[in-house]
Amino acid sequence: MRIEDWAAARQRMVERQILSRGVADRRVLDALSAVERHRFVPVDVRDLAYTDQPLPIGDGQTISQPYIVALMTELLDPQPGDTLLEIGTGSGYQAAVLSSLVAQVYSIEILEPLAEEARARLEELGYRNVTVRCADGYRGWPEHAPFDGIVVTAAPPSVPQPLLEQLAVGGRMVVPVGDAFQELQVIVREDSGFTVRRSIAVRFVPMVGEAQQG
Ligand code: SAH
């Protein structure tokens, strides 16, 4: 496909799958219009890059459905000066979407080949304010905390305590919580504690590692 065709497909994706489902934040829509999702998926599924579905990215993992990426980004309410943490880099797509909206994105991926690939891809595509680390995201990234926002793109059975602790006061965490089926939660850290708001039902791969140890 030619560059213009990809751009047109992307524009249709934003209008038909995202705007039409109620994601209205202009900055989020612009970010989804700009990031070349087809560069984040394997060549054999590239033609499906702008369809309304998650896609395999190798190692049994998937790049999330565009609408879910948009919704989670909107719920995170990213601000230009923010420092964000993502757990579950995967392809690096969600990190790339966040990149243009905030000052700095830290992203943790537990599988080495995916972390390596995402790091190389983000560098090649010029996303300079994203730093990828290979580790278990359960413990967060204390050296860079507190975070103005944390987005978790693998589902823990319950919210990891270290991630709550690394959220700045006024910060927001968007996280799918549960086992086979999960609900998307928006957790806000207030001066005096945390508030939890429930969004839609979702289906993410499980957060593996320490999150599974009860
Ligand atoms: N945000 C990704 C999609 C996430 S798929 C994208 O935009 O493409 C979920 C990812 O979370 C997978 O790559 C999986 O390996 C990773 N993951 C699962 N458990 C994890 C953990 N404990 N720490 C860090 N990453 C984890």
Question: What is the DSSP pairing of strand 167-178 with strand 182-190?
Answer: antiparallel
Q: Point out the ligand 1 atom lying closest to the alpha carbon of residue 108.
A: 24
Looking at the predicted structure, is the pLDDT value of residue 14 above 70?
A: yes
Q: Which of 73, 111, 122 to mutate to test the pocket of ligand 1 (most atoms within 8 A of CB)?
A: 111
Q: Which of 20, 33, 64, 99 is catalytic?
A: 64
Active site residue 158: no
Which residue minimizes the CA distance to atom 11 of ligand 1? 88
User: For the chain, what is the mean pLDDT?
Assistant: 96
Decide whether any atom of ligand 1 lies within 6 Å of the 141 Cβ. Answer: no
What stretch of H or E contains 5? helix 3-13
163, 162, 161: which is closest to 150 by C-alpha?
163
Q: What is the rounded average pLDDT of the residues 96-121? A: 98
Q: How high is the pLDDT of residue 214?
A: 67
Q: What is the rounded average pLDDT of the residues 80-103? A: 98
Decide whether any atom of ligand 1 lies within 6 Å of the 93 Cβ. Answer: yes
Cα(154) to centroid of ligand 1, in Å?
5
pLDDT tens per residue, range 174-206: 999 999 889 999 999 999 999 999 999 999 999
Decide whether any atom of ligand 1 lies within 6 Å of the 72 Cβ. Answer: no
User: Quick check: pTM over 0.85?
Assistant: yes
pLDDT tens per residue, range 128-154: 999 999 999 999 999 999 999 999 999
Instruction: State the chain's maximal CA–CA distance in angstroms.
Output: 53
Decide whether any atom of ligand 1 lies within 6 Å of the 98 Cβ. Answer: no
pLDDT tens per residue, range 30-52: 999 999 999 999 999 999 999 99
Pair 124, 91: CB distance under 8 Å: no
The C-alpha atoms of residue 183 and residue 185 are separated, in whole angstroms, by 6
Structural domains of the chain sorted by starting position, each given as residue range(s) with its CATH number in brackets: 54-212 (3.40.50.150)
